Structures are given as C-alpha cells and as structure tokens.
C-alpha cells in the first residue's frame, strides 16, 4: 500500500522544524533544499515518502525515543476507593440497568452497561415484549453522544453565561404570568409524563400554543390513519402472519426508520426451512436502494412522485379482485397521472396480494404523502389485513399544533414567550416558514438543546439539555408498552431535562426526576406499589401495558376525501427526494463521529451526504462521477489509483427560490429522473466536527414537499468534491463471496451454496503447515445468516462502542484507513440500472490456518487453543505483513495515534496537541485495550466477553472440576445488536449449541474454501422467493449466475461440507 502523506501548508515560522536554519527561514537553506532535492517536493506532496526517507526518519525518532526514555521513571499512580460504599457497586464489575431511548417510533428498550458509574455500552432489552433485544445504529452511538465534549455546558442569556438559579427564576416568572402569549415548540414524544405536563399546562394556560415538530415525523401516516379509521388509531404489523409484503416507499426493515420491534417476525419468516409456514415474499417499490429494497424478492424502481399512481393502479386492480367498493372509491378519488410503470408488475403483484388476502401487508413509509397512505390503508382493508396482519390499536396521540400553526401565530404577534425544547427549527424547519426571521419577532425565547446550535444562538436563553442517560423519563414503544427511562449518571454538564423545565413552568418549585415519573406510573399501573415500581425499573417496562386492540371500520368517505388531495406526478419533471440520513438522522447526530464514519448502507459514503442519481439520468444530465465501476478515463488519469481520489461533480439544485449545492454520485438501482439526498448535513458554526461536512438540503424543503420536491432544476458545475467511500468496488469478480439462490433452486438442491463456483472443482485440501492443536473444550465460531442480514449497520456501531474502535476522519478514510472491525460489503448483481443488492458482513474470520499468522515476524498474531486468532498489541511492531496476507482485508492498522490526536491534526507531528478529552475517556470500555499508533488490530470475537465468561465459570466452579460447570451463555457485541438475529456466536464443539446447528445448515458455506484457511465464520446463503409470474423473475436470486457448477459437478458435493475441523477437538480439556 502506498503511503500518501499530506503535510499541512508550510508556515512562516514552522512549529515542526528539521533544523535551526529552517526555523529561522534562512534563504540560503531554502535554496539548498531546492537544489538538493529538485523533485523532492513533488514526492512529498503526491506520492509520499520514499522508503529510504522513512527509514532515516524512523532512525532519528528511535534515537530521540531512547534519549527520552532513559530519563523517565514510572509515574506515581493512585488507588482511589470510594469514601462510602455505593450500593451494588463492585469496583471492576459491570452493572446493568434497564432503560430506554426515546425515539421517533416510540422507544428503543435498552440495557445499559455501567462501569464504576459510567454508562459505557447500550444493548437491547431482550425481556421487553416489543423488542427482540436488538438495537439500531443510533442507540449504539448514544454513549458517544453522552460524552461528547462539544455538548453545551453553560446556561446562557443573550449569549452571556448565566446560572441555573437565574433561569429557574425566569421560568418561575413565566409560570406566574397568565400565559396568554406563551408557546412551546417541542418534538413529538411518546412520554406519558410529558403528556401529563402538557395537559396540566394547557389547563393552567388555556391560550398556550403547544406545537410539535420533527422533520422526519410520521405526520402523514397519522393523518392517513385518522382519515381511514378515526383519531389516534395505529396499525401494529404482525409480520409473523404475513406471507406477502409490499413496501411502497417504506424502509420498514431498517430500525432507524421504524424502530426496534416493528419488523420483528419478518426475519423468522425468511427461513426456507421453518416449520408450519412458507417463506414470505417481499415486494418493494422505491426510488433509491434501501435495505428493504436489498432484501426484496421483487423491487420496482419508481419515482416517489409516481408511487401514488402505482398505489392507485394497484388499488384498482385489487378492488376488482376483491370486489371492494370502498377501495374502488378511494382509488378512483386519487388523481390519475401518466407513468411508465410496467403494468405487468402491478398486475402480478396485485394477483399475489389478492391470493394472500388476509395474510399480506402493504406498507407505506412514514413520510409518504398522506393521500398515498390512505390508499394503502384502503388496500389493506380490502385485503382483510386489518385485524389479522395489521392490528389496529387505540394509541394515545393527542393532536398538537404544527410548526406552520406556530409560525402563523408568531406572524400575527400572538407569541411573546417561546420555549423551544430539544428542537432546532432555525436549521430544519420547512424553508417556506423563514423560521430564523420569525424567531427574531419573539422577544423571549428559551432553547433547551444538546448543543448551542443554530436555534440556541438565536435564542435569548440557551439551556443545556440532559441526555436520556442523565435524566428520568418514560415512554411508550410503538405497541404502547409503558417503558422506563432512568438515569445512569448525574448530568455531566448540568443538563436539564424537558420534563424538569415543564415541571417548573407548571408552577412547581424543585425539579424532582423520579417522583415526576412515579406519579405517571401510579396513574398507569393497575397496582401502584413499591414492588411494581421497582419491577418497572428493574425490567424496564410495565407488563401488559400495550395499547388496547380495537376493531375500527374503514371510513371510505373521509379516506377518499384525503385521497383526492393526492398530487399527480408531473410528467418529465425531475424530483428531489429527502431522505433520513443513515448517519445523522435529521441532523441531530451531526456531531457523532462514530456515525459520521459509519458508511451509508448503500452508497458506502462516509462523512458526507451525497446526491444520488441513476446511471441513465447521470448520463442525461452530464454528471460524471468515478464511482460504482463507472470509472473510465478519470481512473485512468489517476493511474487507476481510485482509492485516493474519489470525486463527485458538484451540482446546483434549485426550486426557483432557493439553490443548494451537492456532490452527486451515481447510484445503481436508483429510479430515473429522480434525485435523492439525505437531510441533516451541511451545518455551520455549531462545532468544528460538523463544519463543512456534507450538504444542507433543508433550504429546498417546504411544508408541502416534506418527502419530495417535484420539479427541481439542476445545473452541473465544473467543480468537484472529494468523497470518502469505503467500498468503491461493486462486483465480486466472480468469486462468489455472497451466495444466493432462488427458493426453487433451494428446493432442488438445498446445499447448492456449498458447491458454487470454485468450490465444485477443488480437490481435498491439504495443509503444508502444522499448527498447535485446537484442543480446548470450547471452540468459538460464528455464523452469519445472509438471508436475514439487511445490512442495517447496527453491528458496525455496536462493535465500535464495545471495542474502543477509533475514528480516523474523512481524509484517512479516503486512504482506506478506516478502522471498523466489522464491515458490511455491498454488492450489486446484474444490470447497473436495475441490479440486485446484496449485503455481506465481514469480520475477522478466525481462520484455523490463518495466513496472517504465518507471516508475522514477531508472533504478534497467534492462535489460541480455543480457535481464536489473537492479536497481542504489545508485541506488534507494525510491519503490516499480516494485513497484506489476509484474504478478507479485515485487519486494521493504526497509522496514527487516532485516540490521542484530533483527526484534523494527525500530520502535525510530535509537537501537536496530544491527549483525549476527559469525557471521552469515560466512554471507553475498560476491558478492551485502547490501541496506540503503529499496531495492527482486528475483530477479536469480543475476547473480553469470552474471557469474562470463562473466568465467571471458573469462579463459580471454585475447588471443583472445571468441566462440571458450563459456561453461561453470552453474546458478542455485533450479535447482541443485530435486530434480526442474523449473527450467531458460540461454541462449535458443543453439538447442541445454536451455532453448531447453524453451521450444519445446508445453506452454510465458507468464503474462499479453496484457500484451505478453514474460517470459523460460516455464512448461510441467501434464498430469494421470486414470484415466477413477475417480470424479471428469472433474474432474481441469480447474483452468482446460473450456478451450473453445482449441477454439473454434483459428485464433488461430498467434499463440500464446511465442518472440516471437527476432528480437531475430539479430546476436550479443561481450562
């Protein structure tokens, strides 16, 4: 790998100097430099140091290190016990508490791991009825948010530091007033405690304007449900009962869109071997590739503006098939428009749905316009899905004023005091409102926020908000289960929670966290006792507190009234679709470097958002990018060194009033004449980390174009923009890394994946190397089920949080120096305009014949007797031979002291600032070494958890034979976070363990079997379930081609089994 150093621009008085003469800017010295190294400057600028230079420099630094070291002694350190023992706390042992993260779709139930009082890891709560114990990426990244050193730390009034007393006094004075000009703008919340305060405040201040705004709120879904079924009705899907699912502009498999628990039951029905039920079938209609689209058996590329027409035609077809007058009425009410949608697709999809009436689900996304949603409700009603696969429940939604209502009230001068609670409308309100100007019309504004952001600086008061791990609260999950939020730590920087402010505003004096929630609990719980309260906190939820199921009737009149408002698609118009960002959500995670560096599911772009455009539209518009294999002359010009200079054309987008800029990349599978951009980027002036990251799309978003803007003009500029992409390559180069087949093929030969490609030709493997025996009783292994892995990234961030994986910054990612221990490779198969997408989780495969181990000159990477490929950091001298010899490219090298240096000062040398913010030190997992510069690292199979489990077993065994005590079950971090239980880890020597059974699944295969490295990670091939009548059905499940290898060489199948090491551990030994 080429080293490419980008030095900062030379300074007049350099801080890093090579000689005194240089320091003095001696002109003679400069001349000397120029003559002796006439081309040296070029070498330094473009292609890095020569090896010779490097060795010279290294020699010098080693000499310096010698001088430095001999003068130092180990510093005195201290053991600091508690003054008084803290209940339950044992130094060095984790404590686990149930809590939950309030989220857009209710809440994500969590178990927080605390170490000496610091929450260090969040995991899903498997006890919770509306969770399988998984989490999403955002929940995993919340620990970094908690310890973010950029959080606001000071109450300010008019930009000057103030105090809590002064603020409390101010709020109390508002509480004393009659509240006639008071308004509160906050986010929608499922918290019953907040609802209680809202009701109390609206009684106390009858004229109070209570407005709720969240840029990605499912407002349209709520409106459609109200028109269809009456107020506050919510549909809870039961995927375990659904045979056919159609997702229209819905990424329901992605927990960041729908929350944990929403899609539960789906993955179990993907198993072709399940008992008593057939494998489900998923249709997706979307404009850009989502993880749901990647999982789909049939996917239709469709402009978002045309999804209404799609739903209309589908509705008409189903109305005819089901003889449902209500559906016909609603579908006919929806305005028709011209589209180029393949009628055969709609016909066959409708036929499949009609065949599975009562056991199908049609879904629309939370932001899909309400007229389309109401049509989807009518379809579900006609199919008889309501009450069978979609359970209607009576939720506790209380209508609130919208941000538009609030804007109108401010405009009329009716608002004199405005509380902005956890919202940032100056940045993300619809552009037509001009919220920044509106805010200046309000004399008294109070902003409660995590950062002193755009709204914070425009407000009179700014108050740091408490993190949900710092405050008491409660919430309801999507199904209504009452769920607790309890603090893990005192507010780090005196943050205040929303309910505390509301409490003072309602006239109470002291803010009392637990009692505020307990009062709500007493009202909700059937038996409010100390025991039930403690159980509520211990388990994290109140059992059987979900919303009541109801049997609503579909109201065709109101539904068709709403459907009439549907907007027909504009012919030949270019549409711009606004997406939830996989990294920053709506912008709230813009300062979270873990998330910024997590690649987008599909584009694999880190640190920026990009404008996605289909290959055909890119050609039509003249957008040149060098992504996704469309490299051409650009790559050639750069010597095919594409890793280092991925660039995208900058385009200007305009709606006639505002113009934004964005870098465009070509996205395979994107709908033509459609553009997509994620929201939440391009923030300025909030923190150094957010500045200059991505492009702000909010200026083009207005109240009537929350999901998409139909009719946008585009101008391609001659400027371009560097993009940091972790995977610019899209093809498997015929190596069958990911394997898939159709259900039909699976029915013929369920072990087809084991004889695919090279695997049908290889002779029996013989190893030249000998190894120490793998003779421990426990042999660790993992399986990844590609059939249920959606590629949602939850495991990636979970691994980062668990294993102290550093963030390297955009510059380093562009040099392929990203550090993620587990990555999700994304492959496209088929035609680039409309390919299939496959996702592939890759972590260290813990090969039994590990190629990395044989090349390490210092034995820094060796094998343990229980089959782990170990990495001893303190031995590693950083030759990187191992990474070079790794077939999976999972080894990560610390080119810099990423933990100790700010990512924008990595090249500043030894004189730059060193050290980590104190708060970030608190976020580290104490059981995992924080690696320094110059060492290799990689997935350890969470060895800290393995060792803890082994040690706990031995502690329990005490002076008895170790083998009498079994190892208690545990999960590794990625497995724990997975919302679909796709990753299984465990002891493969135990034939009864789940991982052993999964490894024996006929779908199981290992990558690069012909290399004879014997990986400990087995993948289960993906099975797609195409509808044979659908157009293009013959191409579904064909990512590996027709698979003639397996058929023609069936006689090799007996050699093809993966469990080749089973003879290695016949003699179990005790630990």
Site residues (vs other proteins, CB under 8 A): 66, 70, 74, 76-85, 90-93, 862-865, 868, 870-875, 927-930, 940, 943-944, 946-947, 951, 954-955, 957-963, 1069-1071
- Shortest Cβ 858–other proteins spacing (Å): 12
Distances (CA, A) of 303 to 136, 145, 252, 361: 27, 35, 18, 21
CB of 116 to other proteins, least distance (A): 10
Q: Are 577 and 614 in contact (CB under 8 A)?
A: no
Q: How many residues would you count in the chain?
A: 1071
Nearer Cβ to other proteins (744/865): 865
SS3 530: helix
Cβ nearer to other proteins, comparing 83 with 548: 83
| Residue 568 · residue 336 · CB < 8 Å | yes
User: In whole angstroms, how close is the CB of 62 to other proteins at the nearest point?
Assistant: 13
Judged by CB, which is closer to other proteins: 108, or 974? 974
Q: Which CB, 320 or 962, lies closer to other proteins? A: 962
C-alpha distances out from residue 58 to 33, 53, 86, 883, Å: 21, 8, 49, 21
Q: How far is the CB of 99 from other proteins (least distance, A)?
A: 24
Q: Which is nearer to other proteins, 508 or 928 (CB)?
A: 928
Q: What is the dihedral of CA 951, 956, 959, 962, to 10 degrees?
A: -60
Q: What is the nearest approach in angstroms of other proteins to the Cβ of residue 905?
A: 24
Tokens of 986: 């465990």
**Shortest reach from residue 963's CB to other proteins, in Å:** 6
Least gap, CB of 940 to other proteins (angstroms) = 7
CB of 951 to other proteins, least distance (A): 5
Q: Is the CB of 760 or the CB of 869 nearer to other proteins? A: 869
Quote the least distance from Cβ 859 to other proteins, whole Å. Answer: 9
Nearest to 664 by CA among 625, 632, 622, 634: 625
CB of 879 to other proteins, least distance (A): 17
Nearer residue to other proteins within complex by CB, 248 or 946: 946
Closest CA to 1006 of 713, 667, 754: 754
Q: Rounded to whole angstroms, how far apart are CA atoms 105 and 365?
A: 12
Q: Determine the Cα–Cα distance for residues 207 and 297; give it in Å rounded to an integer.
A: 53
Whichever of 631 and 799 has its CB closer to other proteins, that residue is 799
Q: How far is the CB of 1061 from other proteins (least distance, A)?
A: 17
Nearer to other proteins, 551 or 770 (CB): 770
Cα distances (Å, whole numbers) of residue 82 to 470, 921, 924: 21, 20, 21
Q: For other proteins, give the closer residue by CB, 49 or 862.
A: 862
Q: Which is nearer to other proteins, 158 or 874 (CB)?
A: 874
**Smallest gap, in angstroms, from Cβ of residue 989 to other proteins?**
15
Q: Which is nearer to other proteins, 532 or 929 (CB)?
A: 929
Q: Which is nearer to other proteins, 112 or 943 (CB)?
A: 943
The rounded distance, in Å, linking the Cα atoms of 123 and 942 is: 15
Query: Minimum Å distance from CB 1002 to other proteins?
Result: 33
Alpha-carbon gap, residue 338 to 336, rounded angstroms: 7
In the bound state with other proteins, the residue whose beta carbon lies nearer, of 76 and 1054, is 76
H or E element in which residue 34 lies: helix 27-36
Question: How far is residue 491's CA from residue 146's CA, in Å, rounded to a whole number?
Answer: 9
**Coil, strand or helix at 927:** coil
The DSSP annotation for 852-916 comes to HHHH-TT--EEE-TTS-EEE-TTT-----HHHHH-SS---EE-SS-TTTS-GGGGGGGGGS----
Number of C-beta neighbours around residue 27 at 10 A: 9
What is the spatial distance between Cα 821 and Cα 805, in angstroms, rounded to a whole number?
Answer: 8
DSSP codes of every residue in 636-670: HHTTT-TTT--EEEEEEEE-SS-EEEEEEEE-TTP
Radius of gyration of the chain (CA): 30
Residue with tokens 């995670």: 589
User: Nearer to other proteins by C-beta: 65 or 1069?
Assistant: 1069
CB-based contacts of 58, cutoff 8 Å, min separation 6: none
Q: Which residues pair with 186 in a beta bridge?
A: 212, 421
Pull the structure tokens for residue 912.
């730059």
Nearest approach, Cβ of residue 385 and other proteins (Å): 50
Q: Are 54 and 48 in contact (CB under 8 A)?
A: no
Distance (Å) of CA 96 to CA 122, 486, 876 = 9, 12, 34
Helices assigned H by DSSP within 334-413: 343-355, 370-382, 403-411
As a whole number of Å, the end-to-end CA separation of the chain is 41
Nearer to other proteins, 865 or 1047 (CB): 865
What single-letter DSSP state applies at residue 168?
A: H
For the CB of residue 79, give the shortest distance to other proteins in the complex, in Å: 5
Tell me the CA distances in angstroms from 332 to 228, 357, 364, one per residue in order: 16, 21, 19
> Torsion angle, CA of 662/668/670/671, rounded to 10 degrees?
120
Nearest alpha carbon to residue 218 among 429, 365, 424:
365
Q: In the bound complex, what is the minimum distance in angstroms from residue 538's beta carbon to other proteins? A: 21
Name the minimum Å distance from CB 772 to other proteins: 9
Decide whether 593 or 804 has the Cβ nearer to other proteins: 804
CB of 771 to other proteins, least distance (A): 13
**What are residue 396's phi and psi, to 5 degrees?**
-105, 35
By beta-carbon proximity to other proteins, the closer residue of 93 and 735 is 93
Q: Are 788 and 815 in contact (CB under 8 A)?
A: no
Report d(CA 736, CA 759) in Å as an integer.
9
């Amino acid at each position: 790998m080429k080293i490419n150093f980008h030095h900062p621009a030379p300074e007049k008085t350099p801080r890093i100097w090579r000689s005194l003469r240089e320091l003095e800017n001696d002109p003679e010295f400069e001349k000397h430099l120029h003559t002796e190294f006439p081309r040296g400057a070029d070498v330094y600028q473009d292609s890095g140091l020569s090896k010779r230079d490097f060795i010279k420099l290294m020699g010098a630094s080693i000499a310096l290190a010698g001088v430095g070291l001999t003068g130092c002694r180990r510093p005195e350190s201290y053991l600091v016990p508690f003054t008084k023992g803290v209940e339950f706390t044992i130094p060095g042992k984790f404590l686990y508490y149930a809590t939950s993260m309030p989220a857009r779709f209710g809440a994500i139930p969590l178990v927080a791991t605390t170490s000496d009082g610091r929450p260090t890891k969040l995991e899903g709560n498997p006890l919770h009825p509306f969770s399988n114990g998984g989490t999403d990426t955002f929940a995993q990244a919340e620990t970094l948010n908690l310890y973010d050193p950029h959080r606001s730390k000071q109450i300010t009034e008019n930009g000057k530091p103030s105090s809590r007393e002064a603020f409390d006094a101010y709020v109390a004075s508002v509480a004393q007033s009659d509240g006639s000009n008071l308004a509160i703008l906050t986010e929608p919340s499922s918290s019953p405690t907040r609802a209680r305060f809202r009701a109390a405040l609206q009684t106390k201040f009858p004229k109070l304007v209570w407005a709720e705004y969240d840029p990605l709120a499912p407002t349209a879904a709520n409106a459609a449900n109200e028109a269809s079924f009456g107020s506050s009705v919510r549909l809870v899907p039961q995927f375990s009962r659904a045979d056919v699912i159609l997702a229209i502009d819905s990424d329901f498999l992605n927990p960041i869109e729908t929350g944990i628990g929403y899609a539960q039951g789906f993955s179990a029905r993907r198993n072709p071997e399940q008992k008593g039920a057939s494998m489900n079938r998923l249709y997706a209609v979307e404009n850009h590739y989502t993880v749901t689209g990647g999982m789909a058996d049939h996917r239709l590329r469709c402009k978002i503006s045309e999804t209404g027409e799609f739903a209309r035609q589908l509705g008409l077809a189903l109305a005819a098939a089901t003889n449902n007058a209500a559906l016909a009425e609603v579908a006919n009410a929806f305005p028709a428009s011209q589209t180029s949608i393949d009628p055969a697709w709609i016909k066959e999809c409708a036929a499949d749905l009609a065949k599975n009436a009562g056991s199908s689900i049609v879904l629309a996304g939370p932001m899909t316009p309400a007229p389309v949603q109401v049509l989807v409700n009518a379809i579900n009603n006609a199919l008889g899905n309501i009450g069978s696969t979609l359970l209607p429940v009576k939720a506790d939604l209380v209508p609130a004023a919208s941000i538009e209502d609030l804007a109108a009230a401010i405009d009329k001068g009716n608002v004199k005091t405005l509380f902005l609670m956890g919202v940032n409308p100056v940045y993300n309100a619809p552009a037509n409102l001009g919220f920044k100007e509106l805010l200046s019309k309000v004399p008294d504004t109070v902003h409660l926020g995590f950062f002193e952001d755009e709204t914070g600086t425009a407000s009179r008061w700014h108050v740091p908000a408490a993190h949900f791990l710092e405050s008491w609260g409660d919430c309801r999950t999507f199904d209504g289960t009452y769920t607790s939020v309890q603090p893990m730590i005192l507010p780090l920087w005196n943050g205040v929670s929303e309910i505390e402010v509301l409490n003072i505003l309602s006239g109470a004096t002291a803010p009392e966290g637990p009692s505020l929630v307990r009062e709500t609990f007493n009202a909700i719980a059937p038996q409010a006792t100390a025991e039930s309260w403690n159980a509520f906190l211990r388990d994290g939820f109140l059992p059987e507190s979900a919303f009541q199921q109801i049997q609503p009737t579909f109201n065709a009149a109101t539904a068709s009234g709403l459907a009439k408002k549907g907007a027909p698609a504009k012919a030949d118009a270019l549409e711009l679709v606004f997406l939830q960002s996989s990294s920053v959500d709506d912008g709230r995670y813009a300062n979270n470097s873990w998330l910024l560096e997590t690649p987008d599911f599909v584009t694999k772009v880190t640190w920026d958002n990009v404008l996605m455009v289909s290959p055909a539209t890119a050609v039509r518009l003249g957008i040149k990018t060098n992504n996704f294999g469309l490299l051409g002359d650009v790559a050639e010009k750069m010597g095919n060194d594409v890793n280092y200079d991925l660039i995208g054309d900058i385009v200007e987008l305009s709606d006639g009033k505002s113009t934004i800029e964005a870098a465009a990349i070509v996205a395979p599978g994107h709908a033509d004449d459609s553009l997509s951009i994620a929201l939440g980027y391009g923030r300025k002036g909030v923190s150094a980390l957010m500045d200059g990251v991505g492009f702000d799309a909010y200026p083009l978003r207005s109240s009537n174009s929350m999901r998409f803007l139909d009719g946008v003009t585009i101008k391609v500029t001659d400027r371009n923009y560097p993009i940091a992409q972790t995977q610019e390559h899209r093809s498997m180069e015929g190596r069958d890394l990911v394997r898939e087949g159709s259900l039909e093929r699976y029915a013929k030969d369920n072990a087809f994946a084991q004889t695919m490609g090279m695997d049908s030709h290889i002779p029996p493997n013989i190893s030249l190397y000998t190894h120490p025996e793998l003779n421990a009783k426990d042999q660790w292994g993992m399986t990844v089920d590609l059939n249920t892995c959606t590629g949602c990234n939850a495991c990636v961030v979970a691994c980062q949080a668990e294993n102290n994986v550093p963030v390297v910054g955009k510059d380093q990612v562009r040099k392929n120096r990203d550090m993620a221990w587990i990555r999700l490779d994304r492959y496209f198969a088929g035609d680039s305009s409309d390919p299939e997408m496959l996702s592939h989780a890759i972590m260290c495969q813990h090969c039994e014949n590990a190629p990395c181990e044989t090349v390490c000159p210092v034995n820094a990477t060796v094998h343990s007797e229980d089959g782990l490929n170990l990495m001893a950091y303190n031995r590693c001298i950083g030759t990187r031979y191992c990474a070079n010899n790794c077939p999976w490219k999972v080894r990560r090298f610390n080119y810099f002291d990423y933990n100790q240096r700010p990512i924008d000062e990595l090249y500043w040398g030894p004189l730059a600032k060193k050290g980590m913010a104190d708060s970030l030190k608190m976020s580290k997992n104490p059981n995992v070494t924080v690696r320094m510069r110059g060492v290799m690292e990689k997935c350890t199979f969470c060895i800290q958890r393995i060792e803890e489990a082994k040690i706990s077993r031995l502690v329990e065994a005490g002076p008895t034979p170790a083998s009498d005590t079994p190892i208690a079950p545990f999960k590794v971090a990625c497995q724990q976070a997975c919302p679909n239980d796709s990753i299984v880890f465990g002891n493969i020597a135990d034939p009864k363990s789940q991982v052993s059974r999964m490894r024996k699944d006929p779908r199981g295969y290992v990558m690069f079997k012909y290399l004879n490295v014997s990986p400990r990670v087995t993948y289960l091939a993906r099975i797609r379930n195409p509808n044979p009548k659908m157009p293009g059905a013959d191409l579904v499940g064909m990512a590996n081609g027709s698979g003639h290898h397996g058929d023609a060489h069936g006689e090799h199948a007996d050699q093809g089994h993966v469990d080749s090491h089973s003879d290695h551990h016949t003699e179990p030994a005790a630990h």
